[in-house]
Amino acid sequence: MKASLSTSIGTLTLERPTILASGILGISLNIFERLYRAGAGAVVTKSLSKEPWDGYANPTIFSVKGGGWLNAVGLSNPGAPNFAKMITSNKDVPIIVSLVGQWRMTLILWSGSLKTARFQPMN
């Protein structure tokens, strides 16, 4: 008898419980298919915004004195609508989409204390 590793997260049922973390290997469907065939239960996309984001200018990776690396790419991505077009041929890979957005925050201070805080969604 073959053991089942099937697991559920809300309404999503996966054959296997391992999920690739967001952004680790980009957003190529070809790579997502290879990861799924290699045993991943699902993959999480790089975080996608409503409009394309350029991210930070290079260099985006620094070596740290004493060992290790620091990396800040700035969530560069082609935008969720373009990503949706890129995966139209997907047949069976469970793809979990990570979405990112921005909020504009308005704070009104009066005599040093907070009077009002307002949040508005941006892209």
Ligand X SMILES: Cc1cc2nc3c(=O)[nH]c(=O)nc-3n(C[C@H](O)[C@H](O)[C@H](O)COP(=O)(O)O)c2cc1C
Toward ligand X, which CB reaches closer, 51 or 109?
51
CB atoms within 10 A of CB 93: 16
CB of 110 to ligand X, least distance (A): 36
Give me the residues that bind ligand X (CB under 6 A), please. 21-24, 46-47, 75, 98
Q: What angle do CA 97, 103, 106 make, to 5 degrees?
A: 170
* Cβ contact 23:98 at 8 Å: yes
Pairing state of beta strands 19-20 and 42-44?
parallel
Toward ligand X, which CB reaches closer, 4 or 58?
58
CB of 53 to ligand X, least distance (A): 10
Toward ligand X, which CB reaches closer, 86 or 91?
86
